[in-house]
Structure 1
Amino acid sequence: MFVPFLIMLREGLEAALIVSLIASYLKRTQRTQWFGAMWAGVFIAAGLCLALGIFINQTTGEFPQKQQELFEGIVAVIAVLILTYMVFWMRKVARNVKAELEDAVDQALQKGANSGWPLVLMVFLAVAREGLESVFFLLAAFTQDVGYAPPIGAMLGLATAVVLGALLYVGGVRLNLAKFFKWTSLFILFVAAGLAAGAIRAFHEAGLWNSFQAVAFDLSNVLSTQTVFGTLLEGILGYQEAPTVSEVAVYLIYLIPALLLFLMPARPAASATKDAREASSARR
């Protein structure tokens, strides 16, 4: 429940932040007549992502066992790639996202003249990216943790993000977003490592991977997944009390380079981004 809550809180807050920045810019530049186009893009993106998630979930439930395991492995790999991209994309653009969004809004409205469709498309693409990331992560999470807890956690996370986004827009709350995204990103890398290990386990059960299946270590007498803490670790980080050599190897092969890259000092912002920010400031 906690991981879907955190992921949807983060993804929802990213989307809410994007919408809040666009709405604030439209209000500040006295173009509130385009609020309808902005919300159209938001709702179309949300509806399509929800429909895609329901469609994939419904059509894969009837797969035979091996095909189901293969599907779960593929979804886990996609989720790992998306989560990794999400972490490093936010790390790269966090300082300049406001200027880039404002520049994108100006370009969309200039292209559209009296039509709001370019703005609808621009907002749709921005929100749909967050939505698609959420869809594939939740599909991976739901296959590893059945029951009502994961969907409830996801809905609570999304609801919290919507409330925080609204409060950010009206100025009723101040969040240190840099620290929020930094620490949640660090946590997400551990979640992604657990998903990567789960993917290799699913591929083995699907009959595609049969190498290095010896048990690497057995902690069942120390920290069993039957205990409360062990169950929490299993649900949050993909912990296994007796993982195979291939699972441990994939976990470390992903996590160690990802952590090293994440902890390295961020590169200075690109000159193009700086120019976009200065141009946007000049227009104001």
Structure 2
Amino acid sequence: MFGAAFLVALREGLEISLILGIIFSYLRGLNRKNTFKPVWIGAGIAIAFSIIVGSILYILTGGEEWHGQLYIEAAIFLVAVGILSYMTFWMKKNSPGMNKGIQASIDTALKSNGGTFQLILLAFITIIREGLELVMFLLAIAVDGKGNGLSLGSGTLVGLIIAILIGWGIYQGSAKINLKTFFQAMGNLLIIVAAGLLINAVHEFIELGIIQPGVYLYNWEHVLDRHGAIGGILHALVGYTDHLSSVQLIVWLIYIIPAIILFNRKKVSTLARGAALDKVNN
């Protein structure tokens, strides 16, 4: 759980830090540091709301099992996979124009009559999406690894601290990081993690009797138990299970192969064009 929580907290935390950094840097450039407070208020409300939503959902899925809990857990896995996939591709597509988009929104807010409220609303709307994405993904990890809150919490905390430090360094101009390379690498890693959560969702539907497992391909319970140290790490990161069914494998392949290809498509096509030009020039 630590590794998966760390990855998603680092990725989402850095995105939140970068968004706030863009806002504060632009306001500082306009010599409007007096407007920092409304931004912090909006961001604080968004973070608090995300935590409240996550806490309510965690309470609903915690404790002893009750009728309908498996349905909620399966839904959480599917929602987490959907959100994670969407935000990974959204960030890849929109990150180049994010800076100008946020600056344009700030200009609009400052020119309006209720400038303070508009800045609070801007910060809230901008941060709430990232906050809910982080909460939903962490909730899916928590549901999958009940009783291991320390691992989840420590992974999340370490990831957020590193993300905040990187964001602060970028804001101060003391840290240099290739964000395109970072988000490309993190995107691929999180697609793999999302595929693992999809396996867990299929497992819940198998337990509910909604779908049939097909054939179980192996039983490694006594070799690499998913509840053990190494098995637990692999389970949290890539969805490893010591009882893999053919249906789970098929669903995993159907998701991960197109996702990886589509996410890296531009990079691959660019390399192909470069190689073709080299041949022509030679």
TM-score when scaled to structure 1? 0.87
| Aligned mates of 1:66, 1:168 — CA distance in 2 | 49
Q: Which residue of 1 aligns with 2:56?
A: 55
Does 2:140 match 1:134?
A: no
Equivalent residue, structure 2, for 1:102 = 103
User: Is 2:208 the counterpart of 1:206?
Assistant: yes
Match of 2:187 in 1: 185
AA matched with 2:115: S
- In the alignment, which of 160, 163, 173 is matched to residue 158 of structure 1? 160
CA contact (8 A) 1:66 1:205 kept: no
Q: How far has the Cα of 1:59 moved from its partner?
A: 3.1
Q: 1-10 vs 146-155, which deviates more?
A: 146-155
- Cα RMSD over matched residues? 1.9
Mapped to 2, the partners of 1:48 and 1:228 lie a distance apart of 34
Task: Tell me how far apart the structure 1 counterparts of residues 71 and 53 of structure 2 sit (CA, whole Å).
Answer: 19
Give the counterpart letter for 1:118 in structure 2.
Q
In structure 1, the partner of 2:41 is 40
Deviation for aligned residue 1:261: 0.7
How far the C-alpha of 1:67 sits from its partner, in A, is 1.9
Within 1, Cα distance between the matches of 2:84 and 2:236? Answer: 17
Superposed, 1:236-275 pairs within 5 Å as: 236-265=237-266
Q: Could you tell me the TM-score, scaled by structure 2's length? A: 0.88
Cα distance in 1, alignment partners of residues 114 and 58 from structure 2? 40
Unaligned runs of 5+ in 2: 268-282
Judge conservation of contact 2:206–2:213 (CA < 8 Å) in 1. Answer: no
Give the match's secondary structure for 1:213.
coil
**Amino acid aligned to 2:100:** A
Amino acid at match of 2:88: V
Query: Which residue of structure 2 lines up, in the alignment, with residue 91 of structure 1?
Result: 92
CA contact 1:38–1:120 (8 Å) conserved in 2: yes
On the 8 A contact 2:42/2:123 being kept in 1, the answer is yes
How far is 1:218 from its partner?
Answer: 4.2
| 2:277 aligned partner | none
The CA distance in 2 between the partners of 1:62 and 1:188, in whole Å, is 28
Q: Distance in 1 between matches of 2:160 and 2:228?
A: 29
- Residues in 2 aligned to 1:44 and 1:135: alpha-carbon distance in whole angstroms: 14
Q: Give yes or no for contact 1:67–1:206 (8 Å, CA) kept in 2.
A: no
How many corresponding residue pairs?
264
Q: Does 1:144 align with 2:119?
A: no
Instruction: Say if 2:214 and 2:245, in contact at 8 Å, map to a contact too.
Output: yes
Q: What is the aligned partner in structure 2 of residue 122 from structure 1?
A: 122
Q: CA deviation at 1:116?
A: 1.0
AA in 1 matched with 2:176: R
Instruction: Pick closer, same or farther for the CA change 1:66–1:253 going to 2, 3 Å.
Output: farther
Q: Cα distance, 1:172 vs. partner?
A: 1.9
Amino acid at match of 2:180: A
- 1:172 aligned partner: 174
Q: Deviations 1:198-253 (Å, cap 9, x if unpaired)? A: 101012213322x2432134455765546643332112111113311111111111
**What amino acid is aligned across from residue 161 of structure 1 in structure 2?**
A
Distance 2:95 2:176 in 1: 16
Which residues of structure 1 form unaligned runs of 5+?
Answer: 267-284
CA distance in 1, matches of 2:40, 2:222: 54
Letter in structure 2 aligned against 1:136: M
Aligned equivalents of 1:53, 1:219: Cα separation in 2: 34
Partner of 1:113: 113
Confirm or deny: 8 A CA contact 1:13 1:165 kept in the other structure.
yes
CA separation in 2, counterparts of 1:114 and 1:77? 40
1:113, distance to aligned residue in structure 2 (A): 2.6
